Chains A and B, each alone.
Chain A
Amino acid sequence: MNQGFHIAVCGSLVPDPLQTLEPIAGPQGPALKNEMMLPAVLDPWASHALYEAAHLARQDGESRIWLVSIGPRARLQQLMMSIAQKAVFELVACDGPAGGFTDAAEVARVLADTVAAIPELDPQRLLLFGGCASASRDAGATLQMTGERLGITEQFLNVDELTVQEGVLRIKERIEGGRYLVSACDGPPAVVGWATGMLPEPPNNPQIGMQNMRSIMPALQRAKSVTLEAPELTFESVTVPQQRRDTRIVKDTPTDEIAAELVQWLREDS
């Protein structure tokens, strides 16, 4: 009998992609200039995970969603003013740094501890969702490590689609060559690291937002303070990726030729 999934979506805020990101040396190591004041959005990969979770939960009507976020409390609160309007979820907030200069293993430790401590969460029904990468701390490993710490061995990364057929999860993962690997998983617990998914961004709906805010505001008040310490981690240099734009318009170029040119360009660049 399907009693629904318990979906924990891991994701936090990142600076709005349009903002100017300028690394600076701060007292605690590298940081972004004016980071606290830059408008923030929910990490785009985590957003896909949240929307897919909401879609999945709507189908059976019995699933529950928790959004597990590490970030400065005040900034999380502001983020919720838009995110809370897009899907029904419960927030589990940790008051800590959300910047990109943190150790993925430390983040995974805090996330795993936080997920494990959610009182009503049934680990046997758990789907651990998140982005397969992150726009801020893009180690590409955080979700995997979080899953491992929770003892979840069924892990799917770069996922674009998850459907449920008679209790079996059918999962499409991106693999090389623009192709998908389709897997069948008997059921939860599982880790699902989302690529872009298939769903559009839901519109804001203040009525959903008002419903969510009844639990979100107390959750923010309860947010425990966390530190992400990694004394062995040092940064030798931090730079923003250089922009490069060489535009040519050439019609009817074979794909192999385009691929070869890209490979050559990457080799030159490295």
Chain B
Amino acid sequence: MTNSDSQTAPVLQTLPGDEVRQIMWRFAERFDLQMAVQSARGVARGPVARLVAAGERNNHEWTEAKNELLAAFDAAGLTAAFMEPELGGFIAGPKNLAVALIAFELGWVDGGAATCSLAGNLALSPIHERGTDEQRTAYMSRCVPSPANSDGPQRGAFCLTEPLPYVGVDTGVLGGKIRVAAWEDGQEPVLQVEKRGRFITNMDFASFVVAAVDADDDRIKGSCMVILEETDPGTYDRGAPTQKLVHQLSSTCDPVFNLEVPANRIVGGYDIVDGVIVPRFSHGQVIEAVFQRTRVTVGAMSAAKLLSAVEPIIRYQRTRFRGGDSTPGTPRHDLGLQMKEDSLQRLVDVWATGEAAASLVFAAARLFDRYDPLEEQKNQTLTAQGIRGARAQFRTLRKMQTRALEYLELIESAGHGADDERLSALEGDPLIQFLVQDSLAQVLCPACKLWNTGYGANMMREAVSLMGGYGVTEDCPGFLPQKWVDAQLEATYEGPEAVQRRQLSITMTNALFLAQFRGWIRELSAMPNGPAMGAGTLAAAMELWDWSLQYLQGTLDADGHKLYRDQRHGVTFPMTDALCWLLASHQMVLDVTELSNKGEQHPVVASGLPGTLQFMRDLCHVQAARAAGEVGRICAELVYGYEGQAAEGSRYGATPDESFDRLRLHLDRSLAGSRLAKDRAATALSRVMIPEALDYPA
């Protein structure tokens, strides 16, 4: 290190502890969540880690040893965490942050175990989100470990293998079909359900399945999700285990069902209209509500992987030359590979990515905790107004977009002559609040799934590489190679990367989202500690992205086609990637700001706060610079790469005017100091105190 700041700045003393995380991720006041974290950690670093260390991942079968995990989840309260208190749970209110934290803790050790724990929630989610009251009470109470369920809790599986929203993938032969098997006058219709699933989690032990099916009968309309039970008459074949190379601590099979079930198993119920069974929710409506939330938890697993890699890598680097000819007290012995700048700086990149990923995913989870009651209020309000059905709701809400924008403008000018009465009125309108939060949810959810898992997998490769040859052995501390391949699955299930990009390419152009995005730029530019965190760099990158999006939306390619349009993935998808970098970095800045604001008041955190804050700000700066670099490259390629021409009515000329060059230059210059931050962070990594050993077996 050559800069004097590196020698004098306060240094990180220990790895950030629970108290620091509770402040950053905003659950310092939530004892229920803190206990859920400790509980999940006990399972992850106990039974789960022992299974992985014992090589239980090395087979595809659902073994007795793996099955014991289910009891461990039950005993630790993880199974009940998703349930309402009146049904045996212990967390009141929305549970998105709780579930994300549990996923994070389990994913810290093994993503498959996390998936195994969460798949039960996934099966219950359609019932929770769209089921009738009877369905919700029946199935959720059966899945709670309690004395009332003397044979043990039931477990479910979620069986989709169907066209996903935004993709249009036709999986043909695997599609489920539903027909009327019997329908006597005045009686509940009996349905024949045929379904083949692929890659279905929990299938080895699920006693019920929530399956997506299409109507194959004139007497049933559209598609729906239907609940199948093990005891229903017909075939309930769990199928062969999937030959996965990843997530082997979760059960995955390709099941086959051919069952007769009463029509009241349709999730959300049905109406009879002109002699036709009309499900109240199509399968698309159900899974949209489900995946909107469950994708967030997947992003939590990948974030945990990256942060969990830090300690084993530091230990490996420091001890690399011990036991050989090195002498205690020499840099070679004490620092090992940490004598080398490259080793340290690459680890800084891994850590910064993990921090940003965690910030993004927990921000999304908290957002959904705010969103859930608003969605409920929205549904009640619209129903009270006689507005039913997805399309009618959509039309109504669309008309309110202008008022929602007005609300955002009034917030910006609050206290500066804004119409406070009007602001207050709009603030109290649940539909306006829903629209605003919805515009964020539709961006943050796919963004954290896409960036955390996709770029996270890339950075896990980097983490593995930092362990040298050890990184590709079974006894690599921290199970890093397993985590690397697991991250690839996390990038794929619950909608692969293309699905997330496709959704983002639409939702990120929502005027409500963009209005908030521009507000963030102003906030970042005015932050008191902004320069230390690279907030100015981030603001400059956001401005460039915003300008580029508008340019691309108003420009035609050489063939006269709009550049930014539905199927032009070469344009839209890179812009989604660029946005994810910005969102992750932005949330990281907000989390470090929270630590800065609240850390001093916490006696434990305060004792090491200067060093912790300095390090976290430096990581922020590193990440902001990295994000800015990505955004600059992507935007320059797209803006200049197509040699576009102005669309009719566009304010842009055939080539980008000097605005782009000005913004790009501003961005480049805003990187000043970012490498010094990286130097400081690297120095901190060579000095930070770590435990003597990892707290789980390897």
Using a CB–CB cutoff of 8 Å, the interface residues on chain A facing chain B are 16, 18-20, 22, 33-34, 36-39, 72-75, 78, 81-82, 84-85, 203-207, 209-210, 213, 217
Contacts and interface: CB of A to CB of B under 8 A. Distances in A.
Given A19-B691, A36-B607, A210 B35 contact: yes
B604 A20 contact: no
B17 A37 contact: yes
A254 B390 CA distance: 80
Contacts of B31: 81, 209-210, 213, 217
Interface of chain B, main secondary structure: helix
A74 B19 contact: yes
Contacts of A217: 31
Contact of A85 (B39, B72, B602, B608): B39
Contact of B32 (A19, A36, A74, A210): A210
Contacts of A81: 18, 31, 34-35, 37-38
Nearest to A15: B691
A250 B157 CA distance: 52
Contact of B75 (A34, A78, A205): A205
Given A74-B604, A75-B604, A206-B35, 5 more contacts: A37-B608, A78-B34, A81-B18, A81-B35, A206-B80
Given A39-B18, A81-B31, A205-B75, A18 B691 contact: yes
Interface string B596-611: 0000001110011000
Nearest to A84: B35
Contact of A34 (B13, B35, B42): B13
A217 B31 CA distance: 10
B652 interface: no
Nearest to A213: B31
Given A20-B689, A37-B17, A213-B31, A206 B603 contact: no
Interface of B: 13-14, 17-19, 31-32, 34-39, 42-43, 72, 75-77, 80-81, 90, 602-604, 607-608, 689-695
A19 B690 CA distance: 7
A37 B37 CA distance: 18
Nearest to A217: B31
A206 B32 contact: yes
Nearest to B80: A207
A210 B34 CA distance: 11
Contacts of B607: 34, 36-37
A36 B604 contact: yes
A56 B37 CA distance: 28
A54 to B, nearest CB: 15
B695 A37 contact: no
Contact of A39 (B17, B32, B34, B603): B17
Contacts of B43: 203-204
Contacts of B13: 33-34, 37
Nearest to B42: A204
Contacts of A74: 19, 602-604
Closest 10 pairs between A and B when the two form their complex, measured CB to CB: A204-B39, A206-B77, A82-B38, A36-B607, A81-B34, A203-B75, A209-B35, A18-B691, A74-B603, A206-B35
Contact of A18 (B77, B81, B693): B693
A16 B81 contact: no
A185 to B, nearest CB: 34
A205 B76 contact: yes
A78 B34 CA distance: 8
A204 B692 contact: no
Contacts of B694: 18
Contacts of A37: 13-14, 17, 604, 607-608
A36 B689 CA distance: 13
B230 to A, nearest CB: 28
28 contacts: A33-B13, A33-B689, A34-B607, A37-B607, A38-B17, A72-B603, A74-B604, A81-B31, A81-B34, A81-B35, A81-B37, A82-B38, A85-B77, A203-B43, A203-B72, A203-B76, A204-B39, A204-B43, A204-B76, A205-B39, A205-B75, A205-B77, A206-B36, A206-B77, A206-B90, A209-B31, A209-B35, A217-B31
Contacts of B689: 20, 22, 33-34
A207 B78 CA distance: 10
A223 to B, nearest CB: 13
A38 B72 CA distance: 27
A18 B695 contact: yes
Nearest to B605: A37
Given A34-B14, A207-B90, A16 B39 contact: no
Contacts of B77: 85, 204-207
A204 B14 contact: no
Contacts of A34: 13-14, 607-608, 689
A216 to B, nearest CB: 9
Residue of A37, A74, A84, A209 with highest tally of chain B CB at under 10 A:
A37
Contacts of B692: 18-20
A83 to B, nearest CB: 9
A36 B608 contact: yes
A28 to B, nearest CB: 14
Nearest to B607: A36
Nearest to A22: B689
A253 B693 CA distance: 31
B300 to A, nearest CB: 18
Contacts of A73: 603
Contacts of B17: 37-39
B618 to A, nearest CB: 19
Contacts of A38: 14, 17
B346 to A, nearest CB: 24
A16 B90 CA distance: 28
Contacts of B72: 203
Nearest to A216: B31
A205 B72 CA distance: 11
Contact of A78 (B18, B42, B80): B18
A53 to B, nearest CB: 20
Contacts of B691: 16, 18-20
Contacts of B34: 78, 81
B35 A204 contact: yes
A217 to B, nearest CB: 7
Contacts of B80: 206-207
A85 B14 CA distance: 27
A33 B608 CA distance: 11
B76 A16 contact: no
A217 B34 CA distance: 13
Nearest to B39: A204
Contacts of B90: 206-207, 209-210
A84 B42 CA distance: 14
A103 to B, nearest CB: 24
Nearest to B693: A18
Contacts of B76: 203-206
Contacts of B608: 34, 36-37
Given A37-B607, A210-B90, A85 B35 contact: yes
Residue of A16, A20, A78, A206 with highest tally of chain B CB at under 10 A:
A206
